[in-house]
Amino acid sequence: MKLETLIVDIQDKIAIVTVNRPSALNAINDKVMTELNEVFSSILDPKVISGVIVTGSGEKAFVAGADISELKDKSDLEGSKVSKKGHDTYNAIENYSRPVIAAINGFSLGGGNELAMSCHIRIASDNAKFGQPEVNLGLIPGYGGTQRLIQYIGKGRAMELLLTGDMIDAEKALEYGLITHVTTQETLIPTAKKIITKISKKGPQAVALTIDMVNVFFDKSSNGFVKEIAGFGKTIGSEESTEGVNAFLEKRKPEFGT
């Protein structure tokens, strides 16, 4: 599949996925959503990469929201289909078996902030701004924003941001727990690479199962404790665990496979 709105660059087994619509502040349109789904569902093979960085082109915006022109005159059914496509895409990102880091380099609003929240870890440059301004258009977030924002910053803070449509800066996002690091523009991608490189030295099966277990916590249809018991049993009986335990006892660094 030839990508028209995304740039995928793999460096040292780290994939950098850049939303590339700078003239529209990287706003999410149907093509971007389709290509994001394709990238995470089939193009990026987790067996051959150690992690993914998602960012936006330029220095003004990560993703400044959804492309509003595509939402004009939609029927209820058409709107639900748009939302469902976004949920399917962002769920594919959230459940990807390698770490996915949002490197937020500017405005992260609406559908863009929902994209960032679907990633496992979020870091931001000091010029970043965050918000869910959908109420200003008489809308609600459609790509998981009403649910994931609560998970990251709690009901009270999420309710205020969702109802006012206000933006917060990177320092406030760090204080709230929406992001974990604030950097400069220049050090944003290197910082994301450093985190992925650190994770890549851990057991890959354990990393994948940890991502799954953490996501299960928010899945009302599953019992996370039961899945953790099964997951722990799966890891402890693996070659990966044997190598990790032996390396610890022998006071050496483990040599995990891919």
Query: Does the annotation count 114 as an active-site position?
Result: yes
Of 137, 188, 124, 135, nearest in space to 146 by CA = 135
> Annotated catalytic residue: which of 35, 94, 114, 240?
114
pLDDT band with cut points at 50, 70 and 90 for residue 149? very high
pLDDT band with cut points at 50, 70 and 90 for residue 102? very high
pLDDT, tens only, 187-223 = 999 999 999 999 999 999 999 999 999 998 888 777 7
pLDDT of residue 224: 62
- 103, 230: one domain: no
1 located within any domain: no
pLDDT of residue 63: 98
Of 158, 176, 199, which marks where a domain is finished? 199
> Annotated catalytic residue: which of 35, 94, 134, 240?
134
Query: Does the annotation count 160 as an active-site position?
Result: no
- 117, 212: one domain: no
Residue where the block lists tokens 């996370």: 224
pLDDT of residue 33: 97
- 245, 183: one domain: no
162 located within any domain: yes
pLDDT at 258 over 70: no
Question: What's the sign of the alpha-carbon dihedral 145, 150, 153, 159?
Answer: positive
- 182, 210: one domain: no
Number of domains in the chain: 2
Q: Give the ranges where 28-102 is alpha helix by DSSP (H).
A: 30-38, 76-94
- 174, 232: one domain: no
- 144, 44: one domain: yes
As separate numbers, helices (DSSP H) first and strands (DSSP E) second, the chain gives: 10, 10
258 located within any domain: no
Largest CA distance in the chain: 66
254 located within any domain: no
Residue 123's domain comprises 6-199
